[in-house]
Chains A and B, each alone.
Chain A
Amino acid sequence: MRRYPAIFTLTFILGFWASHGLAQDVASFEKRTTVKVLKNGLTVVLCERPEAPVFSFFTIVDAGAVQDPQGESGMAHMFEHEAFKGTDRIGTTDYAKEKIALAKVEEAWAAYDREDRREVGRDPKKVDELKAAFDKANEEAGKFVIKNRFGEIIEREGGVGLNASTGMDSTQYFYSFPVNRFEIWAYLESSRFRSGVLREFYKERDVVHEERRLRTDSNPIGKLIEQYMAAAYTAHPYGRSGVGWPSELDHLSATEAAQFYKKYYVPSNAVIALVGALKPEQVMPIVEKYFGAIPAAPRPEPLTTIEPEQFAERTVTMRDKSQPFYIEGYHRPDDRDPDDAVYDVISDLVSEGRTSRLYRALVRDKKIAAFAAGFSGLPGTKYPGLFSFFAVPLPGHTPQEMGAAIHEQVERLKNEDVSDEELQMVKTRAKANLIRGLADNQGLAIQLAGAQLRYGDWRELFRSVDRIDKVTKADIRRVSNKVFVASNRTVAMIENEPAPAAAPAAGSAQTQKETH
């Protein structure tokens, strides 16, 4: 089903690039792209790119860490891991028996967890018994599992780039397949979200906790960023840990995950983009056959919480053995705000390449930083997020110097018009970057799915460039003066606190100085 006539209204880009022959390409883009909304509400965007007999897909579910229920931080991410565990037909030797065994695991977990967390009268002996019973129930359920069968099928069939990710705003799943595996893809991806089974949940929770240790606990910048977001938000869930606070992560259950799934993994809450050597008349019936079988359900209620206006500057200082780092952020509106493109322009102006303002000021002229940039996206963009500036100091330079140098540039944005040349450079770059992104199946699928989900129309991908083209010097000053003010600022930094003399090594170690 094509919802729009084939003539595309991207006059800006048609005009601008006519001499480069892009006009035909953009028009052909419209011809090559089909949108279908299934009866159950699932939206599928298909873009034909016949260059090679392969295709990529990107499924985006409109639920991220923001949707984690209170006390269950990390749930959206945990569910994402569980979406690799197979279904009632994939990865089980006998689902009927496994289902009973999994129900027993949940009972055993609930009993153990309740006793373990008892505030008064906790009985350690009973906890041990309940833990043993829980372990035994897991072992029983494990007997029916064919490990990693879902991933195994994809790999065996020639799938590449198999992965998924969970952000604050959404969860996404993706890989690429040879085009003759299209129906296998439809089988796998539809059953994943229709009849997925939450097996091996508690071992996977340990895996996710290791992921937390890797990305956050044992990584100084990861640690700082978690604190940065916690400081920037008082009410909105953007301030919560996306991977989960350790205590909450360790108490998530498969029962809770099933509730999360039921509420958020409904067809009307997701978009699938497909890009590659696919013909709509051949593949849409297959999509219909497999994905149409997923039962319809209402879209979940939107979030009520709105972050209250910030009136006091907040600062997080982490004194650490690692090298200094500086980041600061200002609350900005969400990505559907009419000024969204202005933030895009500011971000490009201060960040992109060696002509950018932060590079020229901090790296080239002051010689105090190795890298500096400004960007939107932390913690997310669907709800009002932050516009952040950060800088990586050169040896011997402090985070405070970074802050001062960044503020000089922020003041310039507020008090001086950008030059015509700078503004034109940003606009030209936006168009060129759009074109560069069109020749990659997976990249294109990501962008089409994102635009379709957030704006209800994949063409937003092109319109965003149109809106960038309309941004004026006055817009940049207006937005900068409104948002980049001290009372709206959260600062987070690492101050280097040198380690004490090297600790003696473990065991019967002899010391050797890098001569191995």
Chain B
Amino acid sequence: MNRSKISLLFTLVAMLVVGGASASGQTSAPAKPKAPPEAQSAAPNTAGAGEQQDLAAADLRAIKKPPLPAFHPQQPKRIQLDNGMVIFLLEDHELPLIEGSITMRGGGKDEPADKVGLESIYGNAWRTGGTKAHTGDELDDALEARAAKLETNGTPLATFLTISCLKGDFDYVLDLANDLLRHPEFRQDKIDIAKDAVRTGISRRNDNLGQIAGREATKIGYGAQSPYARVPEYSTVAAVTRQDLLDWHAKHVQPNNMIVAFTGDFDSTALEAKLRGMFAGWPKGPEVPRTNVPIPPPKSSMYFVAKDDVNQSEIRMIAPGLRRSDPDYPAVAVMNEILSGGFASRLFSNLRTKAGLAYAVGGSVSAAYDHPGLAILTIGTKSGTTAKAIDGLYTEIDRMYTGGVTQAELQLAKDAILNSFVFEYDSNEKVLAARTNLEFHGYPPDFLERYQKAVEGVTVADVDRVAKKYLDKSKFSVLVVGKAADFDKPLSTYGAVTAVDITIPKPRSPAGATSAASNPEGKALLAKVIAAAGGAPKLDAIKSVRRKSSLTLKAQGMTLETEQTEVGTDKIQVKLNTPSGEMIMVATDQGGFISMAAMGAPRDLPSSQRDTFLQGLRYELWSVARHANDPQYAFTAQGKEKVGNIEASVLDISGGGDQLRWFVDPESGRVLRSQFQGDSPTGPATQVVDFSDWKTVDGISLPFHSELSANGQPSASVAISSYEFNPAVDDKIFARPEK
């Protein structure tokens, strides 16, 4: 089997089928930091100290354990250009490959709260959106033909550009990378695909127990709106514009904000000269300010998320953690090893092996490089042992808190950390990644050497001290995701329970939120549309409209005669001539109903359908035109896209919680297409309306034909026979019949 087959097997099959692994992979042992080579002294040969006595102890003592051969991996060469760019180069001639990364500070935690998801969309569309000279698709073709990788990726802390190729292709790929850095295009079609990816993630985020628990635990720890916890919503994704991505790029892709790192089969001197030639002339940009995020004080509350279609509970216990630079960190690392470091740790041995309560149990007091981490302990247990598992975790927290770590446990934990230290730098890629990481966070280059020395010196008293500080039951909140009806005890046994509603907000953004800024091109385009339609005074004079049409429903293959009467943006009545008689549908800001003789009493119009009607009113050309000078509305031109044979100008309209896109004929100023997110019978859908057959009525230019589609599937066509402006409308037609 080739490697791509293997990797597919591992990513897909391993995820889909029973993997069956003994769960050390599930226990999420704390990430051990990288070590510098100097730290590699002879690994302490302490096996035996404090071991429990079995015959294996003697067997192991009898086995010769030669000292680990001296090992001094090569260190990367650090170069700093005058413009501030930092470059690391590390030769590795084992294989004819070159791998590299460019790290740019600034990530998801720095994006505005009403545009959460921006960094993820940016990191995706940067590469897929191509450069001024090449579309993203052209780059894909060119790179894949060489089996080369050039990718960009947005994360909470930084954006990464990564390169991997055969050495013979390196100059070519590096030139493309440079083009991408300097001349990105962020084509709109790829922004849309990037947004689709985020929207898919939103729609699926409540399908998996562990994902719910992880997300909500982080919100509990940092606060739901914290940049370290918040998640994208449909509205925040919709609010992101191409201009946002261009602005983000201009701000962050500056030589003084970048770390460039390469390892592989190259000559460092030659590559340094090449990179200097490529980047030295790039002027330094303004400093990117670092966001400081406040961390809320700990709470001790019980939270519950209802999930009724499962037979297992996911439990999280959450408290504040620490920074990696904290002097407590080495002792905390040893404590974590004792608590949950592996097979022999307390959580694994007591809650899994001894009690049989869980397959996945673990967690740690975590230490992030740039902000305090969280202490999160986790266990997944059958619904009927939920309380037992909570008690189990509490017991283990208390056992650490009240002291009593033995010398044997301490020695085992230190041995495990120190004897495996060589794996922190057993490849050039790891050495380079560690060095880049320390540079990124402004840590001293010998940080890991100091850490290793500090671990060697950790005592039982140190562990007892940090356990008191970080494993204090009164600072832990508890989160349970599961099926309450099957729990062994109600959660209220533990105190007041806060139910967390994880319902995903519908695609429309909250009313009043403006999310984008107009650009002059957008304003001009709107002005052109208004002028072409007959001018602002004429449009403004429209208070009510009545129109008659033939509506053809594609799926049903049925054509119905309709009459539609609308007043402002909050009242609409639609009369439909159906084979079973006249059907009347009314939607207003107060409610809505459907009535039909054959149906008996009128029924409520489902709220999603009512929303769809009212959305339609707000998206009428004359309704939009009224907001031309409304500071709460943004009109943003987004480049060109083809509609039929016409290269249309794209205009994004946002305001009042609405998001609408028009495709405008730049010649005539006509709106050829309107596109927006709406509900469909299968869930949220992209609705597209294509207009044609323009005629003028009372000096207003109007389309008499439209074709509708939802998610690319044609749904209906409308042939309009008449428009009537400002007809007399009796308000009673919007009132629900009494009987």
User: Nearest Cβ distance between residue A462 and chain B, in whole angstroms?
Assistant: 10
The stretch from B20-28, B245-253, B362-370, B665-673 touching chain A is B20-28
**Tally of B interface residues using CB under 8 Å:** 140
Query: Are B2 and A277 in touch, CB under 8 angstroms?
Result: no
> Which residues in B have their C-beta under 8 angstroms from that of A335?
1
Mark each residue of chain B from 85 to 118: 1 if its CB lies under 8 Å from any CB of chain A, else 0.
Answer: 0000000001111000000000000000000000
Interface membership of A91, Cβ < 8 A: yes
Interface membership of A457, Cβ < 8 A: no
> Which residues in B have their C-beta under 8 angstroms from that of A184?
60, 63, 65
CB-CB under 8 A for A396 and B685, given A53-B68, A160-B423, A506-B306: yes
Interface membership of A92, Cβ < 8 A: yes
The residue from B71, B164, B426 contacting A436, defined by CB atoms under 8 A apart:
B164
* Distance, CA A163 to CA B359, complexed state (A): 13
> Which residues in B have their C-beta under 8 angstroms from that of A430?
2-4
> Which residues in B have their C-beta under 8 angstroms from that of A86?
56
* Distance, CA A505 to CA B2, complexed state (A): 50
Query: Are A512 and B71 in touch, CB under 8 angstroms?
Result: no
User: Nearest Cβ distance between residue B192 and chain A, in whole angstroms?
Assistant: 7
Interface membership of B398, Cβ < 8 A: no
Query: Are A53 and B71 in touch, CB under 8 angstroms?
Result: yes
The stretch from A36-44, A172-180, A252-260 touching chain B is A172-180
CB-CB under 8 A for A355 and B64, given A22-B96, A468-B2: no
> Which residues in A have their C-beta under 8 angstroms from that of B47?
153, 156-157
> Which residues in A have their C-beta under 8 angstroms from that of B728?
none
> Which residues in A have their C-beta under 8 angstroms from that of B6?
437, 446-447, 450
Interface membership of B695, Cβ < 8 A: no
Interface membership of A514, Cβ < 8 A: yes
Interface membership of A12, Cβ < 8 A: no
A:488-516 near B, CB below 8 Å:
496, 502-503, 505-516
User: Nearest Cβ distance between residue B527 and chain A, in whole angstroms?
Assistant: 31
* Distance, CA A204 to CA B95, complexed state (A): 44
Mark each residue of chain B from 344 to 363: 1 if its CB lies under 8 Å from any CB of chain A, else 0.
Answer: 10001100111111111000
> Which residues in A have their C-beta under 8 angstroms from that of B137?
354, 364
User: Nearest Cβ distance between residue B48 and chain A, in whole angstroms?
Assistant: 9
A:396-448 near B, CB below 8 Å:
396-398, 401, 421, 424-425, 428-440, 446-447
Interface membership of A34, Cβ < 8 A: no
Interface membership of B628, Cβ < 8 A: no
* Distance, CA A509 to CA B219, complexed state (A): 19
A:352-377 near B, CB below 8 Å:
352-355, 363-364, 366-368, 370, 373, 375-377
> Which residues in B have their C-beta under 8 angstroms from that of A438?
95
The SS class assigned to the B binding surface is mixed
Query: Are A147 and B69 in touch, CB under 8 angstroms?
Result: no
A:457-485 near B, CB below 8 Å:
464-465, 468
Query: Are B309 and A320 in touch, CB under 8 angstroms?
Result: yes
* Distance, CA A277 to CA B136, complexed state (A): 43
Interface membership of A149, Cβ < 8 A: yes
Query: Are A506 and B484 in touch, CB under 8 angstroms?
Result: yes
> Which residues in B have their C-beta under 8 angstroms from that of A193?
none
Interface membership of B146, Cβ < 8 A: yes
* Distance, CA A394 to CA B66, complexed state (A): 57
The residue from B20, B63, B348, B685 contacting A183, defined by CB atoms under 8 A apart:
B63
A91 — nearest CB in chain B belongs to which residue? B54
The stretch from A77-85, A100-108, A124-132, A304-312 touching chain B is A77-85
B:1-20 near A, CB below 8 Å:
1-9, 12-20
The stretch from B198-206, B269-277, B457-465, B581-589 touching chain A is B198-206
Mark each residue of chain B from 113 to 157: 1 if its CB lies under 8 Å from any CB of chain A, else 0.
Answer: 000000000000000100000001100110011110000000000
The stretch from B500-508, B636-644, B656-664 touching chain A is B500-508
CB-CB under 8 A for A93 and B207, given A434-B2, A510-B498: no
The stretch from A112-120, A213-221, A261-269, A294-302 touching chain B is A213-221
> Which residues in B have their C-beta under 8 angstroms from that of A320?
309
**Tally of A interface residues using CB under 8 Å:** 153
CB-CB under 8 A for A377 and B9, given A187-B63, A396-B683, A429-B144: yes
Interface membership of A317, Cβ < 8 A: no
Query: Are B144 and A91 in touch, CB under 8 angstroms?
Result: no
Interface membership of B297, Cβ < 8 A: no
> Which residues in A have their C-beta under 8 angstroms from that of B380?
210, 213-214
Query: Are B12 and A375 in touch, CB under 8 angstroms?
Result: yes
Residue picked from A77, A367, A440, A507, most chain B C-beta under 10 Å: A507
* Distance, CA A421 to CA B142, complexed state (A): 11
The residue from B8, B23, B683 contacting A347, defined by CB atoms under 8 A apart:
B8
User: Nearest Cβ distance between residue A91 and chain B, in whole angstroms?
Assistant: 6
The stretch from B282-290, B444-452, B489-497, B528-536 touching chain A is B489-497
Query: Are B423 and A176 in touch, CB under 8 angstroms?
Result: yes
User: Nearest Cβ distance between residue B165 and chain A, in whole angstroms?
Assistant: 8
B685 — nearest CB in chain A belongs to which residue? A396
The residue from A22, A397, A425 contacting B145, defined by CB atoms under 8 A apart:
A425
* Distance, CA A363 to CA B193, complexed state (A): 7
Interface membership of B616, Cβ < 8 A: no
Mark each residue of chain B from 313 to 354: 1 if its CB lies under 8 Å from any CB of chain A, else 0.
Answer: 000000000000000000000000000011110001100111
> Which residues in A have their C-beta under 8 angstroms from that of B498?
509-510, 512, 516
Query: Are A397 and B711 in touch, CB under 8 angstroms?
Result: yes
Query: Are B344 and A151 in touch, CB under 8 angstroms?
Result: yes
Query: Are A220 and B94 in touch, CB under 8 angstroms?
Result: no
Residue picked from B223, B416, B487, most chain A C-beta under 10 Å: B416
* Distance, CA A167 to CA B13, complexed state (A): 9
Residue picked from B348, B490, B499, B712, most chain A C-beta under 10 Å: B499
Query: Are A397 and B141 in touch, CB under 8 angstroms?
Result: no
> Which residues in A have their C-beta under 8 angstroms from that of B344?
147-149, 151-152, 155-156
The residue from B310, B415, B426 contacting A218, defined by CB atoms under 8 A apart:
B310
> Which residues in A have their C-beta under 8 angstroms from that of B352?
207
Query: Are B712 and A207 in touch, CB under 8 angstroms?
Result: no
User: Nearest Cβ distance between residue A157 and chain B, in whole angstroms?
Assistant: 6
Query: Are A217 and B207 in touch, CB under 8 angstroms?
Result: no
Interface membership of B710, Cβ < 8 A: yes
User: Nearest Cβ distance between residue B683 and chain A, in whole angstroms?
Assistant: 5
A455 — nearest CB in chain B belongs to which residue? B1
Query: Are B419 and A211 in touch, CB under 8 angstroms?
Result: no
User: Nearest Cβ distance between residue B264 and chain A, in whole angstroms?
Assistant: 10
Interface membership of B680, Cβ < 8 A: yes
CB-CB under 8 A for A178 and B420, given A354-B140, A396-B683: yes
Mark each residue of chain B from 374 to 399: 1 if its CB lies under 8 Å from any CB of chain A, else 0.
Answer: 00000011100000000000000000
Interface membership of A381, Cβ < 8 A: yes
Interface membership of B472, Cβ < 8 A: no
User: Nearest Cβ distance between residue B491 and chain A, in whole angstroms?
Assistant: 5
Interface membership of B292, Cβ < 8 A: no
* Distance, CA A155 to CA B342, complexed state (A): 7
Query: Are A439 and B18 in touch, CB under 8 angstroms?
Result: no
Query: Are B712 and A366 in touch, CB under 8 angstroms?
Result: yes
* Distance, CA A350 to CA B15, complexed state (A): 20
* Distance, CA A93 to CA B23, complexed state (A): 25
Interface membership of A395, Cβ < 8 A: yes
B1 — nearest CB in chain A belongs to which residue? A464
The residue from A151, A347, A450, A514 contacting B501, defined by CB atoms under 8 A apart:
A514
Using A155-B416, A323-B207, A435-B166 as known contacts, list a sample of 18 further A-B pairs with CB atoms less than 8 Å apart, ordered by residue number in A: A53-B71, A88-B55, A151-B24, A156-B51, A156-B412, A158-B43, A158-B418, A158-B421, A205-B356, A211-B359, A220-B207, A375-B12, A395-B685, A425-B147, A428-B146, A432-B166, A439-B427, A508-B497
29 A-B residue pairs with Cβ-Cβ distance under 8 Å, sorted by A, are: A54-B422, A65-B18, A77-B20, A93-B53, A148-B348, A153-B60, A154-B343, A156-B412, A159-B420, A167-B20, A178-B68, A184-B63, A206-B357, A214-B210, A217-B311, A219-B209, A242-B17, A242-B20, A347-B4, A396-B711, A429-B4, A429-B144, A436-B97, A436-B164, A447-B6, A505-B499, A508-B497, A509-B492, A515-B224
Interface pairs A-B: 8 shortest CB-CB = A151-B343, A158-B419, A507-B492, A505-B499, A206-B356, A432-B147, A506-B484, A152-B344
